Amino acid sequence: MTNSFKEISVQEINQVMQRSHTAFKAFQKKSIEEKSIFLDTIANEIEALGDTLIQKASEETNLPIARLTGERARTTGQLRMFANMLREGSWVEATIDTAIPERTPIPKPDLRKMLIPLGPVVVFGASNFPFAYSTAGGDTASALAAGCSVVVKAHPAHAQTSEMVYQAIKKAISSCNMPDDVFQHVHGTSFESGKALVQAEHTAAVGFTGSTAGGKALVDYSTQRKNPIPVFSEMGSINPVIFLPETLQNSSADLATQYANSITLGMGQFCTNPGLMLAVESPALHTFLDHLSNRIKEVQPAKMLHAGIHAAYEKKSHDALEQDGVTVVEQVSTPINDIEARPIIAQVSGQTFLANPILHEEVFGPYSLMVSCKDEQELITVLKSVSGQLTTTVMGTVHDLENHAQLVDLLPSMAGRILFNGAPTGVEVCASMVHGGPYPATTDSRFTAVGINAVKRWVRPVCYQNWPESLLPLALQNNNPLNIWRMVDNEWKK
């Protein structure tokens, strides 16, 4: 992947991170309202780019205008959500234990705790979300909200889109009188630039969305540091969907329509794409697959994000279909041009799936593999053999769930989000969303990349003991000048 932007050198990266560190310190002096307005202004400036931005993104990513328009709304919505989170203020987890000077044998000191930002954060733009997980996406918005400075490495596949969003952020920096380097934007296509960004002295944390190999490499770079830093890599996920018998019997046509849409939405280029389906062998399962086949046939091939992703899809789907015991349920046969993808549904027995690790790998694109199991016990064994996931879905009646208690019990241990009768491809941006999951879905299952709690990736607690009131941060002062929810002497108070 190449573009016209100048590749950054390792030496320049160290200078960028040094400037980011200086800007971080200045940014910490800004008030909460100044930071909130800054986030709102970035959203406004992105909107002010108008159709030009959407058109450029569509040219670079092959994503349709409607999808990109929706994604832009999500991106500006996220920025405004974090601005509101700052104003609401309880996210800092202010906790106060007041002194008991008369306690024996030792007086109890005054102790006050809150979350503070880690420092400069490096964000690697994702290829599949040119707005929402890229330059001004969720990682950037949450890190700025935390009070961190940010350095984004543009994804080379949509570098011009990234550059346009960067210009919007620069305008917001200028009009809000923020430190110039609170946000910086670099272009790099080499492993060396990624490594240097993770290993620069002043880098305090890293956010990444992409391949398993890429995500693991960033973690390795961090562990080689003198002081390892948190690396939040969101990597592969095949997002298992379990179809239970009663619902298959009752609703196979509706299920097929719903899943044909979910599997092929955005040509399957979502982290939450359902790449694995599971069911117990039955006539109803065959009926479902017939319906699914009919629905998939109707899907028009469309261009993938870029040539690299297309080539990987061709290779990985080809490899999967070559495995012993794998049969094709449907493969769209329309002639394809250029970097278009053909949706594929494949099928394999539980026993064969269990024996072949290749079938457990993600095929990024409009591909899904149905594992037909001989009975519920085999289905449970298959489910246990699958590694950590972003999502796991169960399609069933309430009666189905009650009849499969052992299986349902397993689900929370498998994934960050578990769904009942839905498709995992929609990710709601809200406080209760978890976009994250056990390794290797992400490198740290304790954090989400979507929703207000994404801010918790970029902070750590600090405790002030007997600190003079006048020098305490506002969130910890006695009279609660920010009027935020706090835990005071073990009680929630405002």
List 401, 403, 474, 477, residue binding a second copy (CB under 8 A): 401
487 contacts a second copy (rule: CB under 8 A): yes
- Give the footprint of a second copy on residues 285-344 (CB under 8 A): none
78 contacts a second copy (rule: CB under 8 A): no
Q: How far is the CB of 39 from a second copy (least distance, A)?
A: 17
- Give the footprint of a second copy on residues 23-62 (CB under 8 A): 25
Give the range of 41-49, 225-233, 281-289, 335-343 binding a second copy by CB under 8 A.
225-233
> How far apart are the C-alpha atoms of 449 and 141, rounded to whole Å?
11
465 contacts a second copy (rule: CB under 8 A): yes
Q: How far is the CB of 445 from a second copy (least distance, A)?
A: 4
List 459, 475, 480, 482, residue binding a second copy (CB under 8 A): 459
How many CA atoms are closer than 13 Å to the CA of 302, on its beta-carbon side? 17
- Which two three-digit tokens encode residue 435? 């976009």
Residue 111 CB burial class (10 angstroms; 0-12, 13-18, ≥19): middle
Active-site position among 60, 234, 330, 362: 234
How many CA atoms are closer than 13 Å to the CA of 58, on its beta-carbon side? 14
Give which of 354, 410, 407 is closest to 382, Cα–Cα.
354
Distance of CA 71 to the CA centre of its chain: 14
Beta bridge partners of residue 373, listed in sequence order: 280
63 contacts a second copy (rule: CB under 8 A): no
Q: How far is the CB of 160 from a second copy (least distance, A)?
A: 28
Give which of 25, 41, 219, 38 is closest to 124, Cα–Cα.
219
> How far apart are the C-alpha atoms of 388 and 316, rounded to whole Å?
20
163 catalytic residue (yes or no): no
Q: How far is the CB of 96 from a second copy (least distance, A)?
A: 6
Of 204 and 260, the one with the shorter C-beta distance to a second copy is: 204
Cα dist from 154 to 126, 278, 283, whole Å: 8, 37, 50
Contact 295, 265 (CB under 8 A): no
> Which amino acid is present at 237?
S
Give the range of 168-176, 228-236, 249-257, 307-315 binding a second copy by CB under 8 A.
228-236
With H, G, I as helix, E, B as strand and everything else as coil, classify residue 449.
Answer: coil
Would you mind telling me the total number of residues written for the chain in this entry? 494
List 254, 334, 463, 478, residue binding a second copy (CB under 8 A): 463
> How far apart are the C-alpha atoms of 388 and 360, rounded to whole Å?
11
76 contacts a second copy (rule: CB under 8 A): no
Q: Strand 491-493 relative to strand 150-153: parallel, antiparallel, unpaired?
A: unpaired
List 280, 372, 388, 475, residue binding a second copy (CB under 8 A): 388
485 contacts a second copy (rule: CB under 8 A): yes
> How far apart are the C-alpha atoms of 433 and 452, rounded to whole Å?
9
87 contacts a second copy (rule: CB under 8 A): no
Beta bridge partners of residue 124, listed in sequence order: 153, 208
- Which two three-digit tokens encode residue 42? 């970035």
What x/- string results for residues 233 through 272 when contact with a second copy is judged by CB under 8 A?
Answer: ----------------------------------------
Q: How far is the CB of 184 from a second copy (least distance, A)?
A: 20
> How far apart are the C-alpha atoms of 485 and 96, rounded to whole Å?
11
430 catalytic residue (yes or no): no
- Give the footprint of a second copy on residues 90-149 (CB under 8 A): 90, 95-97, 106, 108-109, 111-113, 116, 118-119
Q: Give residues with Cβ within 8 angstroms of 30, minimum separation 6.
A: 38, 178
Contact 348, 400 (CB under 8 A): no
Of 205 and 248, the one with the shorter C-beta distance to a second copy is: 205
Cα dist from 332 to 241, 257, 372, 406, 425, whole Å: 22, 16, 22, 37, 21
Of 1 and 431, the one with the shorter C-beta distance to a second copy is: 431
What x/- string results for residues 404 through 443 when contact with a second copy is judged by CB under 8 A?
Answer: ----xx--xx-xxxxxxxx---x-x-xxxxx-x-xxx--x
Active-site position among 60, 271, 330, 362: 271
Of 186 and 217, the one with the shorter C-beta distance to a second copy is: 217
Of 63 and 345, the one with the shorter C-beta distance to a second copy is: 63
Give the range of 5-13, 87-95, 120-128, 166-174 binding a second copy by CB under 8 A.
87-95
List 101, 335, 357, 468, residue binding a second copy (CB under 8 A): 468
> How far apart are the C-alpha atoms of 328 and 317, rounded to whole Å?
11
Q: How far is the CB of 334 from a second copy (least distance, A)?
A: 27
Of 48 and 462, the one with the shorter C-beta distance to a second copy is: 462
With H, G, I as helix, E, B as strand and everything else as coil, classify residue 338.
Answer: coil
Cα dist from 83 to 25, 32, 119, 147, whole Å: 20, 9, 19, 12
Give the range of 150-158, 171-179, 247-255, 459-467 binding a second copy by CB under 8 A.
459-467
Number of residues this chain uses to bind a second copy (CB under 8 A): 71
Residues labelled as active-site residues? 234, 271
